[in-house]
Chain A
Amino acid sequence: MPETAMNAGQVSGFYMPELAKVYRTCRKETDIIIEAGMHSGRPLGHMPGQFVQVSVFGYGEVPISICSSPTRTPDRFELCVRPVGGVTKALYNKNSEDWIGIRGPFGRGFPVDLTKGKDILVVAGGIGIAPLRSLINYIMDKREEYGRLIIVYGAKTPDLILFTSDIEQWENQPDAEVYLTVDEADNSWNGRTGVVTLPIREIEIDPARTAAMVVGPPVMYRFVAMELLKKDMDPDNIFFSLERHFKCGIGKCGHCQLNDLYVCHDGPTFRYSDLLARTEAIEAWAPEKDQD
């Protein structure tokens, strides 16, 4: 069957990517932002917090969060990629006019409908800002539908801060509160230093009307959860988006299993209360517990 004869459903069930064209890239030392559009012209049709399976033919396929908001450019979408291995390095080397493959969007994104009217506390660690940038810009475009918007973003060093021009815009919005922090400052930095949990401590929230959306490295979740619980937040109102090893993205290959859940299909966004009942979810990773 030629690729063009398949509809979107067939494409995902047969693990066949659709072609997408790279329109623009912005490459920095540690990451690249790729703007792309589907070759068929179909809008990607995603929601904030969903991901796509991105192919670089000859290298493989990896899950990448969609970092643009569906409210902005319906026929284009953006991916922010940090090169850590084979496929992500190949993506890092992409230029405009290059081709990639896309399956998706897949997964359960952030609960944007369920949390309408609430104060939204966004907590991002490292590359975790990518899906949250989609959420933040989505909320910015529907500002009247939500209460306060509090953004806490921590990066390892100042040069690892992503989406600096977005952040500038957010900081200039009177109805957004932005807390930026780095683990290790350098000479250029005169902002906050310290882990993301420190600013969370300062922030006054009304736990009854706040929903927290958290994405970061595995080790971050437990500490953020502890801070939010200290603020009397209900685990039902804390949402974690988790990273796992994905191969299929549709609940079949088994790689992303978290007990009885498939992170790709049942998540990647989960309520903290659902994770509390399970193991292997957000325990802190301890190197001494690794391989023997």
Chain B
Amino acid sequence: MQSFVLSSEQLNVLFETLMAKMPMMGPKQRSDQPGFYHFDWLKSPGELVLHYTTTTIPPKKAFFPPVETMFSFKLGDPPELTHIIEDTPFVLAGVHPCDLAAIKALDDAYSVPPADKRWLANRRRAIIIGSDCLPDEYCFCTSMNTADARLPCDLFLTPIDRGWLCEVHTDAGKNVLKNIQKDTAQKKDIEDASQWRLQKAEKISTKLNINFEAFAKILEAGGLTPIWKEIADRCYSCGSCNTTCPTCFCFNKYDEFDTTLTSGIRKRVWDSCQLPEFAMVAGEHNFRGERWERVKHRWHRKFLYLFRQFKRPYCTGCGRCSRACTADINMADVINQLAAASEKERSHA
């Protein structure tokens, strides 16, 4: 892998050059909530914030928006359907390692044949520039093997004394840097970056007390209903944990007529397995009608079903669900609680 050094001015030139050619999405400060950041289309490179803790909504929205139109229809004989999908290239900048890992997780899940072509088409449009992060007390990426994730980014930035260390991960990344003034990275620059990452990792205090395989086995063994019920007693089934999660990929879709009632659109929207009607069928039969069954499903899906299928848990340790939960249900705490309970059970047996 090649690495370069860019001064802050040179990095700004890079973003200006890119933005002259194509739109760029990146983290910027929320005008309604200073100190909070969100991924949005940037008006100028100056809006981009590379030092930020996290965003409420993950960057998967660049490829899979919370609400998107899939096609429009016009009734007639025959009706006319128009497929709606963007094809302009864009840049997604300022993506943290855990969120890069999440994009990779969704690449894998959506590529299983028959693939989700909407996700794949949007992914092909993007150049991704990752950047190193500022963790808080909710992050537990060091327990999830995602603290240093890089794929699928094209370039990755880490702050160093001389500005930014810029790792080149793909040919597309190399192309982007072609006419940009830069320096080759020296040993000292690489060491700076390692030091920076070491400091970051040391700040992460939330840790899991169990490895993925052992945790999957605990879930598989079952017998945890009292704990699921205890968590469910606090949960409101609001679905915020799913909405903020970078690895959740469930969706719903619905049609909308326009005012003429002769044409309209079909949309797809993010959905949440915590909502009571998620698994309901006609006749009011509900396969996960009880709150504790839905709570259990969330952990089972992330750490057992998808873990077995893709050999990686569908959680990056980003902590977004824990930050978002008004009931203070904390992802890492729950995992440790389940691990401890099953440990206790074993020592009693």
Contacts and interface: CB of A to CB of B under 8 A. Distances in A.
Interface of A: 1-3, 6, 9-10, 12-17, 19, 21, 39, 55, 57-61, 82, 84-85, 88, 97, 99, 101, 217-219, 243-245, 247-248, 250-260, 280, 285, 289-292
Contacts of A13: 114-118, 120
B278 interface: yes
Contacts of A252: 109-110, 116, 249, 251
A6 B266 CA distance: 18
A211 B261 CA distance: 49
Contacts of B266: 15, 55, 57, 60-61
Nearest to B261: A58
Contact of B305 (A248, A260, A285, A292): A260
A58 B257 contact: yes
Interface in B71-127: 71, 73, 75, 77-83, 85, 109-110, 112, 114-118, 120
Nearest to B80: A3
Nearest to B251: A253
Contacts of B289: 289-291
A58 B85 CA distance: 19
Contacts of B268: 15
- 7 nearest A-B residue pairs (beta carbon): A254-B250, A13-B117, A260-B305, A84-B282, A290-B289, A57-B73, A3-B81
B175 interface: no
Given A13-B115, A39-B78, A292-B291, A255 B279 contact: yes
A290 B264 contact: no
B308 A57 contact: no
A260 B304 contact: yes
B127 to A, nearest CB: 23
Contacts of A290: 284, 286, 289-290
B285 interface: yes
B253 A3 contact: no
A12 B113 CA distance: 11
A218 B285 contact: yes
Contact of B73 (A9, A58, A259, A292): A58
Interface of B: 70-71, 73, 75, 77-83, 85, 109-110, 112, 114-118, 120, 249-257, 261, 264, 266, 268, 271, 273, 276, 278-291, 293, 297, 300-301, 304-305, 308-309
A110 B221 CA distance: 31
B188 to A, nearest CB: 47
Nearest to B282: A84
B83 A61 contact: no
29 contacts: A2-B82, A3-B83, A10-B117, A13-B117, A13-B120, A14-B70, A14-B118, A15-B71, A17-B81, A57-B264, A58-B255, A59-B255, A60-B253, A61-B253, A84-B282, A84-B283, A244-B279, A245-B279, A245-B281, A250-B116, A252-B109, A253-B250, A253-B251, A254-B301, A257-B273, A257-B279, A257-B305, A290-B284, A290-B289
